[in-house]
Chains A and B, each alone.
Chain A
């Protein structure tokens, strides 16, 4: 890079830099040399000086030492103190000089010397000299001599010799130094010479190089220039240099190239010029030929077109024959006239001005013009006007060329008209198509009628119209004034209908009414068009009436409209058909949706095409809606998993949907968890024209049937058991009677048993028969007026002998008159009592209670038995139902009883119900309407006791004769008492402990174990009951006098019931009079509880 940039640098710059560098080098070398020589010189001088100084010092030292010895000798000789003084001074001086000498730069030898001298001096000064002085003072010269001989003098002499030697040596050294400096100067001279020579050589080399660089290319250039001048090709390679020479080369090359290019160009131009010359000649020839052609053309133009020349002012100067032919003006007439002679029609004055302006600026104008000929005939010309300009650009004349295009124009006009007609036809066709589309796709008649009438009004320009669909009486009117509607249908309708029968369509013409006329001129006529729409059977489907004001109907229009009516007839029939189909479809759908069965139609590929709402509800599947097609995988999974028998259902679906499935088949499955729904499902292959195209699945909810079935089989098993037990007795005892001999009493007993069991059998059978009758609805009821209290008592009487249970009657009903079927009510009571006994095996007491409610009497039968689980109470009154628990299963019974009771009570406008608690017992009640709701009390009541239930005086009758009991209780109830019956003394006593009685009526002759007397004794012995008044009612005479004290009254049977009442009233009356509280709080009966 650097080299490159150097080579690119200009020569001048390059070499001036080199020269400058060299000069600096020379100066620096010179200066360095000078400085070096100078310093060397100085060093030598300095060394010289040092040497001289050292020599001087040593000389001085020698002199001083000499003086010291001299003085010391002097002293030793003279014994002059002065001499010693001087010696000491010299010694001091010697110390000083030695000091100075030691400070000089010393060679090792010199240093040794100096040191020895110093030691010596020290020795001398401190030892020798004082010794010598002492010798001198002692005048001991021998000692002194010895001392001197002892080396001191020798040392001085050595020292002196050394100094002398040193002097010579230093002198020698000095001369060496001078020699050395001279030699050095010599060396320097040689060095300077060599340096100068080297510089000279360098310059020479440089100049030679410059010359080589500059001269060579110049020589080449010269050669190139020569060859250029000689016209030869310049063979000069480009120098890859950017210096002056390089640029010169480039400039030269450029110049050479441009010269060569120019030369070539000139050559080419020359050739071109030659070619142009040829062409020009050619053109001249062609021009000549064209001129003749133009002349011919002009002739032809003159023949074919009208040609005229107008002066600058617009005056015809020339006009050919054609123009006079086109205009009707003769040639002579035209020539000299202005252009205004031509009567141009289709150009306004403003346009004419524009044309003139255009022409006057040199433009050419050309257009179609319509003008009138001289005789007034219109003629179309295609006219072109060209201005002719002179050399100054001024117009000096106009040329007019015109062609007759009248015939072409006419053709054009005709074409346009045809086109317009076609356009109109197209619109009409489009409308017609639209109507076709509308009537094809409209399913609504009203919509159809509206579209049709709109079409008619548009297509045939009716001003008002009416369309009537006869069958549905749909009328659509458009733009019809009321008067027209009346005209169409009203007064003239007779006429219209009459004509319609014979003609499919007709037209009437009449003067327009005022309203129709509107802004139209007076005397306009209106045309009414009547047309029927008939089907193939000639039934009138619809009527169209339309009015056009002012213009009548063409034959074509009438035909078209009639054709239209045929299409409309088809469309209307189609609409009818659609409606019928739609109706049928809806009907089918409604039927399918309203049947109780779930219905599902599945195509062969398994997709579900239809399902009804029942099925959707069954499966809780709401994803299907009408028109949907649900693929199998989307519905079947849900269906299969909803069913409890998923696998079976899946298999069934699979089988039923397969192609091989031909016969219909069915299966049963269940839905739900808590309350099972049993479904019977059957599949039917569906064929259309002998091709299987799907499967119909019908899901029937058979839960009721299923349960009924279960109940029935349950019933059969129960019935068989129930029948077998009495049958066993009947058959068994009969067999015993037949096969064994026995006592007559036993025979009688057997027969009685047989009889009773046979009766039980009969009852059972009657129950079933009742049930059967109820089911078939043939049960007969024979209502008769009767007293329900009596009836209840009578039934209870029959259970008197039952060993296990005691039946207690609490009769509070004041009105027990009802009108019912006696036998049926007895059946109900028997049934309910039997149930109470049957279902309370552990308890002994059953209470029957009667009381009035507004207009009704209520009978309650309460037991303290097993009770009924809460969730089963609701099912109790269903047929074949029995409380489903293990305890009741063991008890037996047809399970029909309550259902029969319910049926009987409800058939007699009563109601029945049950309240129960499991383990506590049940209370079954039923109520019946009273025969005579008002006046339910005897009028001759002497004592009117409070109607309040709690306040009624309680009376207990202990009597085993139920008919008497009944008689008495009726009497007592009538007088406002509450009556409780008992026939067993023990129970009566227990009851008396529980309930406060105003009095107890006791029959003496009671059961076997205890009699009336026992009861009285028990009552009187107990503190809780001793105060209760006792009335004896007995057929026996008074016998036991002792006991009579405890008795309020003794009534001997038979006695009139009034007597008992009187006695009781007396007792109550006494208590009331005496202000005794009937039922004090501290009642002794409470204590026992």
Chain B
């Protein structure tokens, strides 16, 4: 089973992402309401993908990335999903260690495809 962590402070969006990805086989979906919760979950489990919102209370997405150590970042692909869609934001996310970037509003199907791609890539070397 592959594990995906969805981090977003907006209930609705969490639900949207969960529902989008629910049909993926052999994938376990986890959610976190904010950065703090996300960090907690990240420290307990290894995830194959983290879908991370940018603007959140407590800890922002960038701050979460800052808290993750390099090893974890190398092992865990991060998909930054954010309403902050300007180039500067994109660069900042990349610098912080996010490998994938998707601006809001996003297409669930596209997200599904990307997630599928990432997860299958992840599976291959193993």
Contact = CB atoms under 8 A, between A and B. Distances in A.
The finding on whether chains A and B are genuine partners in a shared complex, rather than unrelated, reads yes
A965 B39 CA distance: 44
A29 to B, nearest CB: 144
Interface stretch (B13-21, B24-32, B67-75): B13-21
A890 B56 contact: yes
B10 interface: yes
Given A736-B16, A757-B12, A841-B57, A731 B107 contact: yes
B108 interface: yes
Contact of B83 (A725, A730, A890): A725
A717 B54 CA distance: 14
Contacts of B19: 736
Interface string B98-117: 00000111111100000000
B84 interface: yes
Interface in A700-747: 717, 720-725, 727-733, 735-736, 739-740
B105 A731 contact: yes
A723 B10 CA distance: 13
B51 to A, nearest CB: 13
A332 interface: no
Contacts of A730: 105
Nearest to A732: B16
Contact of B57 (A723, A729, A891): A891
A891 B60 CA distance: 10
Contacts of A717: 84, 86
A753 interface: yes
Contacts of B118: none
A892 B108 contact: no
Given A721-B83, A728-B16, A892 B55 contact: yes
Given A720-B83, A732-B16, A736-B20, A725 B58 contact: no
Nearest to B22: A740
B55 A890 contact: yes
Given A841-B57, A892-B55, A729 B84 contact: no
A732 B85 contact: no
Scoring A727, A730, A732 by chain B CB atoms within 10 A of each residue's CB, the highest score goes to A732
Nearest to B53: A725
Nearest to B110: A735
Nearest to A739: B109
A274 interface: no
A721 B58 CA distance: 18
Contacts of B109: 735, 739
A891 B20 CA distance: 26
A890 B20 contact: no
A753 B105 contact: no
Contacts of A728: 13, 16, 83, 104-106
Contact of B104 (A727, A736, A892): A727
A219 interface: no
Contacts of B86: 717
A756 B16 CA distance: 14
Contact of A725 (B13, B20, B108): B13
A890 B105 contact: no
A937 to B, nearest CB: 46
Interface in A743-778: 753, 756-757
Interface residues of B, number: 24
A27 interface: no
B16 A887 contact: no
A841 B58 CA distance: 9
A207 B108 CA distance: 171
Contacts of A739: 108-109
Nearest to B59: A890
Scoring B23, B85, B108, B109 by chain A CB atoms within 10 A of each residue's CB, the highest score goes to B108
Given A732-B108, A736-B108, A841-B57, A725 B10 contact: yes
A721 B56 CA distance: 12
B108 A724 contact: no
B55 A721 contact: yes
B57 A732 contact: no
Interface in A576-608: none
A732 B105 contact: yes
Contact of A721 (B15, B20, B84): B84
Interface in B76-126: 83-86, 103-109
B57 A724 contact: no
Contacts of A721: 55, 83-84
Contacts of A729: 10, 12-13, 16
B100 to A, nearest CB: 16
A624 to B, nearest CB: 45
A889 B60 CA distance: 10
Contacts of A753: 12, 15
Scoring B12, B19, B103 by chain A CB atoms within 10 A of each residue's CB, the highest score goes to B12
A756 B11 CA distance: 13
Nearest to A733: B16
A892 B108 CA distance: 23
B77 to A, nearest CB: 21
Interface in A677-717: 717
Nearest to B58: A890
Interface string A868-891: 000000000000000000010111
A539 B105 CA distance: 83
Contacts of A757: 12
A758 to B, nearest CB: 12
Given A732-B16, A757-B12, A890 B60 contact: yes
Contacts of A733: 16
B85 A720 contact: yes
A732 B108 CA distance: 6
A725 B104 contact: yes
Contacts of A731: 105-107
A491 B20 CA distance: 110
Contacts of B84: 717, 721
A892 B54 CA distance: 12
A732 B106 contact: yes
A889 B59 CA distance: 11
Contact of B20 (A723, A727, A732, A841): A732
Nearest to A722: B83
A722 B84 CA distance: 10
Contacts of B12: 729, 753, 756-757
Nearest to A724: B83
Contact of A735 (B10, B56, B83, B108): B108
A540 B79 CA distance: 94
Given A720-B83, A732-B20, A727 B105 contact: yes
A867 to B, nearest CB: 15
Nearest to A735: B108
A740 to B, nearest CB: 8
B89 to A, nearest CB: 9
Interface in A472-527: none
Nearest to A753: B12
Nearest to A750: B19
Contacts of B13: 725, 728-729, 732
A727 B85 CA distance: 14
Contacts of A732: 13, 16, 20, 105-108
Contacts of A740: 23
A821 to B, nearest CB: 31
Contacts of B105: 724, 727-728, 730-732
B82 to A, nearest CB: 8
Interface in A211-266: none
Contacts of A736: 16, 19-20, 108
Contacts of B10: 725, 729
B94 to A, nearest CB: 19
12 contacts: A720-B83, A723-B83, A724-B85, A727-B104, A728-B104, A730-B105, A736-B16, A753-B12, A756-B12, A757-B12, A890-B58, A891-B57
**Cβ-closest 9 pairs across A and B:** A724-B83, A728-B105, A721-B83, A724-B104, A727-B105, A732-B16, A728-B104, A890-B57, A731-B105
Given A724-B103, A727-B105, A728-B83, 5 more contacts: A721-B55, A723-B83, A724-B85, A724-B104, A731-B107
